[in-house]
């Protein structure tokens, strides 16, 4: 099934790709289970494309770089095709709303996703002391070969990302895109078994000092590598970020790594991205220290929806929540 989707995507791209078009997709890397982004310019290279269960990356984050920092798209003669899972399209929509992307030269290739793996769960299943040599998906089983040669089989339901379990199978796109695969069948896919409505967040379970102590302990592991900031599509300031500006750093936040400074960093960053965050989970995935950032972004995502009736990535013409107001709302 997964291979079918991959073949269908490659076939589609081969049929529409023209002379000056460029494709932003993923191919396999030297690490099993991790796909690396690649830019393909020739039809012959299209066979390298991988998609499906290990498509963990949200490729939308590269688009703002294309437009702002390098602006290569202004010199691009053809189109830019981007391979997206349906949930990634929310990020693209939100960036269009924030005027970071011009959708004119962009074409999204969305496909029938069946969920993605959570490599941390895979690691937990096989044991943290073991390494993977090869990994592959066969229908509902993940078959691995460990470094010592022994094979292992894990059911997909154990390693699928929890975000996929709550997928509501919706995506709204007004820009030009194509859906590869059977959309109706995808909507009725059995993998989403939980709904996001009654989710219990950390902020519901703990309050006040307990909550602060736990978050402080979790965030004290932060080494301020800025990976979460770099992989986040909502952080589109990129090289103009206030945490890099010399005066600001001296003024607002010291480079010193202390629990309080770490908290301040994440507080400021989440305050900045809260209206744009689509809860894609990339920050948590990419963190080298394994900090459970979902404790934070899930809270803000729910807050935006419940209090301000705003869902990031749902519309490319409606501006984000902080830029509008309703008369008579008694928020503060």
Residue listed under structure tokens 């984050």: 61
Q: Is 164 helix (H, G, I), strand (E, B) or coil?
A: helix
CB of 171 to other proteins, least distance (A): 23
CB closer to other proteins, 26 vs 312: 312
Q: Does residue number 214 form part of the binding site for other proteins (CB under 8 A)? A: yes
Query: Which residue in this structure is represented by tokens 């460990």?
Result: 146
- Binding other proteins (rule: CB under 8 A), the pick from 28, 203, 230, 305 is 203
Instruction: Return d(Cα 38, Cα 224) in angstroms, integer.
Output: 27
- Binding to other proteins (CB under 8 A) within 86-105 occurs at 98-100
Contact status, residue 107 vs residue 176, Cβ threshold 8 Å: yes
Residue 1 binds to other proteins (criterion: CB under 8 A): no
172 counts as binding other proteins under rule CB under 8 A: no
Stretch that binds other proteins, among 3-11, 69-77, 164-172, 223-231 (CB under 8 A): 69-77
Find the shortest distance in angstroms from Cβ 243 to other proteins. Answer: 10
Task: Round to whole Å and give the CA distance between 41 and 305.
Answer: 40
Token pair of 164 as six digits: 């996929």
Stretch that binds other proteins, among 26-34, 40-48, 192-200, 258-266 (CB under 8 A): 258-266
209 part of the interface to other proteins, by CB under 8 A: yes
Q: What does the DSSP 8-state code read for residue 66?
A: I
Rule CB under 8 A: say whether 66 interacts with other proteins.
Answer: no
Query: Taking CB under 8 A as the rule, does residue 199 contact other proteins?
Result: no
- 3-state secondary structure at position 296: helix
* Residue 206 binds to other proteins (criterion: CB under 8 A): yes
Which DSSP helix (H) or strand (E) runs through 291?
A: none
Please state, in angstroms and as integers, the Cα–Cα distance from residue 218 to each residue in 259, 266, 270, 291, 298, following that order.
9, 12, 16, 6, 16
Tell me whether residue 190 or residue 208 sits nearer to other proteins (CB atom).
Answer: 208
β-pair partners for 49: 27
Helix/strand/coil percent split, the chain, to 5: 40, 15, 45
Site string for other proteins, 7-36 (x = CB under 8 A): ------------------------------
Instruction: Please report how close the Cβ of residue 270 comes to other proteins at its closest, in angstroms.
Output: 6
Kindly give the pairing relationship between strand 141-146 and strand 151-155. Answer: antiparallel
For other proteins, which residue of 154, 175, 267, 286 counts as binding (CB under 8 A)?
A: 267
Instruction: Find out whether 270 and 258 touch, Cβ atoms under 8 Å.
Output: no
| Residue 299 touches other proteins, criterion: CB under 8 A | yes
State which of residues 127, 225, 252, 288 lies at the interface with other proteins (CB under 8 A).
252
Q: Which of 208, 246, 255, 317 binds other proteins (CB under 8 A)?
A: 208
Burial class (CB in 10 A: 0-12, 13-18, 19+), 96: buried
Residue 307: count other Cβ atoms within 10 Å of its Cβ.
11
Q: Which of 223, 248, 257, 318 binds other proteins (CB under 8 A)?
A: 248
Residues within the interface to other proteins (CB under 8 A): 68, 71, 74-75, 98-100, 203, 206-216, 236-238, 240-242, 245, 247-248, 251-253, 260, 263-264, 267-268, 270-272, 274-275, 296, 299-300, 303, 307-308, 319, 321-325, 327-332
């Amino acid at each position: 099934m997964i291979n079918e989707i991959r073949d269908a995507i490659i076939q589609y791209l081969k049929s529409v790709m023209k002379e000056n078009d460029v494709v932003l997709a993923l191919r396999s890397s030297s690490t099993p289970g991790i796909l690396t982004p690649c830019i393909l310019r020739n039809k012959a290279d299209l066979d390298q494309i991988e998609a499906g269960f290990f498509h963990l990356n949200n490729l939308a984050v590269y688009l703002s770089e294309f437009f702002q920092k390098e602006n290569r798209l202004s010199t691009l003669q053809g189109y830019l095709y981007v391979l997206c899972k349906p949930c990634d399209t929310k990020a693209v929509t939100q960036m269009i709303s924030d005027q970071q992307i011009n959708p004119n030269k962009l074409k999204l290739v969305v496909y029938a996703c069946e969920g993605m793996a959570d490599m941390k769960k895979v690691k937990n299943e096989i044991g943290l002391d073991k390494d993977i040599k090869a990994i592959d998906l066969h229908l509902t089983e993940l078959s691995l070969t460990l470094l010592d040669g022994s094979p292992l089989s894990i059911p997909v339901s154990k390693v699928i990302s929890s975000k996929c379990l709550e997928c509501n199978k919706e995506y709204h796109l007004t820009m030009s895109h194509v859906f590869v695969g059977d959309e109706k069948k995808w909507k009725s896919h059995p993998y989403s078994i939980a709904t996001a409505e009654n989710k219990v967040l950390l902020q519901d379970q703990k309050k006040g000092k307990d909550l602060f102590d736990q978050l402080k302990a979790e965030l004290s592991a932060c080494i301020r590598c800025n990976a979460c900031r770099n992989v986040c599509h909502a952080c589109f300031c990129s090289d103009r970020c206030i945490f890099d500006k010399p005066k600001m750093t001296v003024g607002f936040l010291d480079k010193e790594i202390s629990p309080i400074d770490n908290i301040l960093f994440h507080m400021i960053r989440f305050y900045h991205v809260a209206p744009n965050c689509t809860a894609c989970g990339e920050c948590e995935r990419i963190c080298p220290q394994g900090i459970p950032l979902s404790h934070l972004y899930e809270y803000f995502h729910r807050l935006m929806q419940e209090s301000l009736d705003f869902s990031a990535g749902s519309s490319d013409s409606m501006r984000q929540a902080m830029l509008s107001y309703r008369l008579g709302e008694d928020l503060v």
